[in-house]
A and B are shown apart, each in its own frame.
Chain A
């Protein structure tokens, strides 16, 4: 089945530094979604990317979908302590993969004040 590799597994930053997590696939993706899970919480949907080369911004968060639709990234500018959590990318294979999100391993972000 479709798999996505997410790196890095952990990222420790000082408050104010930037952060980036990457998701890579060996196959072309139809779309990719990003979720954030706070410690002790549940995944919360952030965004979906569908188009080749798509770039979307949400305040300090910038999401990109690669031109070949095989990779994606999430970049946070000037991290804050509220950004702490695990960031997951997730994909749905096409065809009959209804409701089946395949998640990356996640990147655990810690922010030191």
Chain B
């Protein structure tokens, strides 16, 4: 079956702009989580959606937001980009329960200049 698909793979944006990243989970997976990965902070949880509802949110400013659609596809948005937002943004999906582990997408590499 197809894996988790993230688009775009690479993105270069200017400070102050906003960006929208997309994630299509594995078919049948209704839970979608987003993570930010940087060399200094490692993998940090942004938020998790299940059946279009945000069930959990990490410790990130309100500039980071997300949503999930009825087909489980998810988007995350970052407004007023800062240089420190440069990172690899990873999406992960799983079934309702995490017992089978999370399947990660290849990520979107965001560079803010």
Q: Do A and B bind each other?
A: yes
Which residues of A are in contact with B by a Cβ distance under 8 Å? 31, 33, 35, 41-48, 50, 88, 90, 92, 96-103, 105-106
**Bound Cα distance A41, B43 (Å):** 13
How many pairs of A and B residues are in contact by the CB < 8 Å rule?
A: 71
Interface residues on B, range: 20 to 34
> What are 11 pairs between A and B in contact, CB < 8 Å?
A31-B99, A33-B98, A33-B101, A35-B104, A42-B90, A43-B92, A45-B100, A48-B101, A96-B55, A100-B45, A100-B48
In the bound complex, residues from chain A placing their C-beta under 8 Å from that of B22 are none
Most buried by A among B35, B44, B102: B102
User: 6 tightest A-B contacts by CB?
Assistant: A99-B48, A45-B101, A103-B43, A98-B55, A99-B33, A42-B104
Judge whether A41 and B106 touch: CB under 8 Å.
yes
A98 and B106 contact, CB distance less than 8 A: no
Nearest-neighbor residue (CB-CB) of B50 within chain A: A98
> Which residues of B lie under 8 Å from residue A35 when comparing CB positions?
101, 104
Whether B104 contacts A97 by the Cβ 8 Å rule is no
Shortest CB–CB separation between residue A78 and chain B, in angstroms? 25
- What secondary structure prevails in chain A residues at the interface with B? strand
**Knowing A43-B43, A48-B101 touch, does A100 contact B106 (C-beta < 8 A)?**
no
Interface residues of B in 97-113 (CB under 8 A from A): 98-107
Contact status B102-A45, CB under 8 Å: yes
B94 at the interface (CB under 8 A from A): yes
Collect the chain B residues with CB atoms within 8 Å of residue A99's CB.
31-33, 45, 48-50, 55-56, 94, 98
Which residues of the partner chain A approach B35 to less than 8 Å between Cβ atoms? 101
Q: Establish whether residues A88 and B50, one from each chain, have CB atoms under 8 Å apart when the complex forms.
A: no
Which of chain A's residues have a CB closer than 8 A to the CB of B90? 42-43
Residues of A within 8 A of B49 (CB): 99
